[in-house]
């Protein structure tokens, strides 16, 4: 089993989540209630092979089966978001849709707070997705929910090529998402943006692990907690896309690079944002932001089931500049 498939297995432990836990999702999240599996199967007949009664006698799927999870995701994207084609190699991460959708909705709320309670839609909002991956999931959700425009970036050419295929295969995405390859693996915005471009908001789900070894150790722990067993395959099979999972110095170092480069484009972007999985990294992140002399920092907590993460947000714009940005771009 590849590390990527193992992570998708862990991320989708939804079979143990109760409805009250799903209520932690954003109020506009389409994934808050129980899924209508019959309706989902109609959208993706391949899902039917994985639908079986659970221990309570209710139809469900085995969320420990990565193939079942992927087919469920395809059905969800078709049923709720109108995405008719969504596929990528099994070696790439399979993102959990509910949590990804939450990030997008909270960003919409953030913009709304600075726009008299109104969420700008369509071409008024341009986003930059750092590390879009082969699934292109954040741009897909941002376009289908709010008709925003996206620049999708990744260091992996194969991931970008796959994202382009998804975009070409879905008419609603074609004119809304532009893919760009980051040729320098140590850069974030340099080589992607120039000083004549303006971005309303950036988003990122950074690589979590410092090394393959730490990824194995962490996922062995999670698998043991989930099933009561240690799966030795995770030590032997690593065909996963490593840049999605591992970055030298881990999550904190990756976010540090985002913060340092964000200062270069301080007047080109209203809000810089990133997910932060490790609460222990927050202190270091806030310290770096203080050094960069940002004008405003926000933190939004997100919860799906027992998993808690947060969005850290910052801007270099003064209140006057923020108002000018709103009046010029969002009206």
Decide if 101 is inside a domain: yes
Give dist(CA 201, CA 128) in Å, integer: 7
Q: Which domain holds residue 152?
A: 90-329
Decide if 54 is inside a domain: no
Nearest Cα residue to 90 out of 237, 247, 304: 237
The gap from C-alpha 208 to its chain's centroid, in whole angstroms, comes to 13
Nearest Cα residue to 283 out of 311, 252, 313: 252
Decide if 76 is inside a domain: no
pLDDT tens readout for residues 5-26: 444 444 444 444 444 444 489 9
Kindly calculate the radius of gyration of the chain based on its CA atoms and give it in whole angstroms. 20
Q: Is the pLDDT of residue 150 over 70?
A: yes
3-class DSSP assignment, residue 326:
helix
pLDDT on residue 210? 67
Mean pLDDT, range 229-248, rounded to an integer:
53
Decide if 190 is inside a domain: yes
Q: Is the pLDDT of residue 118 over 90?
A: yes
Give dist(CA 245, CA 95) in Å, integer: 12
Give dist(CA 299, CA 297) in Å, integer: 7
Decide if 300 is inside a domain: yes
Nearest Cα residue to 311 out of 323, 324, 322, 302: 302
pLDDT band at 56 (very low <50, low <70, confident <90, very high): confident
Mean pLDDT, range 170-179, rounded to an integer:
96
Q: Is the pLDDT of residue 279 over 50?
A: yes
Weakest-pLDDT range from 161-165, 179-183, 302-306: 302-306
Decide if 34 is inside a domain: no
Give dist(CA 211, CA 61) in Å, integer: 32
Decide if 19 is inside a domain: no
Q: Match 């998993």 to its residue by tokens.
A: 307
Q: Is the pLDDT of residue 226 over 90?
A: no
pLDDT on residue 6? 44
Q: Element (H or E) spanning 149, and its range?
A: strand 149-154
Q: Which two three-digit tokens encode residue 211? A: 């090394």
pTM beyond 0.95: the answer is no
The CATH number of the domain holding residue 192 is 3.40.50.150
Q: Which two three-digit tokens encode residue 247? A: 């970055």
Q: Is the pLDDT of residue 147 over 90?
A: yes
Give dist(CA 190, CA 188) in Å, integer: 6
Vertex 260, ends 255 and 264: CA angle to 5°? 135
pLDDT band at 307 (very low <50, low <70, confident <90, very high): confident
What is the largest distance, in Å, between two alpha-carbon atoms of the chain? 59
Q: What percent of the chain has pLDDT over 90?
A: 70
Weakest-pLDDT range from 253-267, 269-283, 293-307: 293-307
Decide if 138 is inside a domain: yes
pLDDT band at 248 (very low <50, low <70, confident <90, very high): confident
- Please state the domain count of the chain: 1
């Amino acid at each position: 089993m590849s590390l990527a498939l193992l992570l998708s297995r862990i991320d989708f432990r939804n079979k143990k989540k109760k409805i009250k836990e799903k209520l932690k999702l954003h109020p506009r999240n389409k994934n808050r209630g129980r899924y209508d599996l019959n309706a989902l199967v109609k959208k993706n007949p391949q899902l039917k092979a994985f639908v079986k009664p659970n221990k309570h006698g209710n139809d469900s799927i085995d969320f420990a089966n990565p193939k079942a999870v992927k087919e469920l995701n395809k059905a969800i994207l078709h049923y709720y978001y109108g995405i008719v084609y969504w596929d990528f190699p099994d070696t790439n991460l399979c993102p959990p849709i509910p949590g990804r959708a939450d990030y997008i909705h909270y960003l919409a709320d953030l913009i709304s707070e600075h726009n008299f309670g109104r969420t700008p839609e369509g071409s008024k909002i341009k986003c930059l997705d750092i590390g879009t991956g082969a699934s292109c999931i954040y741009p897909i959700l941002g376009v289908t929910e709010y008709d925003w425009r996206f620049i999708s970036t990744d260091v992996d050419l194969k991931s970008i090529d796959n994202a382009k295929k998804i975009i070409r295969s879905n008419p609603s995405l074609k004119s809304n998402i532009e893919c760009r390859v980051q040729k320098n693996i140590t850069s974030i915005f340099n080589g992607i943006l120039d000083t004549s471009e303006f971005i309303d908001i950036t988003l990122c789900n950074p690589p979590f692990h410092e090394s393959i070894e730490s990824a194995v150790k962490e996922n062995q722990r999670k698998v043991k907690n989930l099933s009561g067993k240690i799966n030795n395959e995770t030590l032997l099979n690593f065909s996963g896309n490593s840049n999605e999972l591992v970055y030298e110095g881990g999550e904190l170092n990756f976010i540090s690079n985002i913060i340092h480069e964000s200062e270069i484009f301080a007047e080109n972007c209203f809000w810089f944002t990133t997910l932060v999985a490790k609460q222990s990294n927050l202190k270091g992140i806030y310290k770096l932001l203080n050094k960069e002399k940002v004008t405003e920092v926000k933190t939004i907590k997100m919860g799906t089931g027992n998993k808690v993460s947060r969005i850290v947000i910052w801007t270099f714009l003064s209140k006057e500049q923020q108002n000018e940005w709103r009046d010029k771009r969002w009206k």
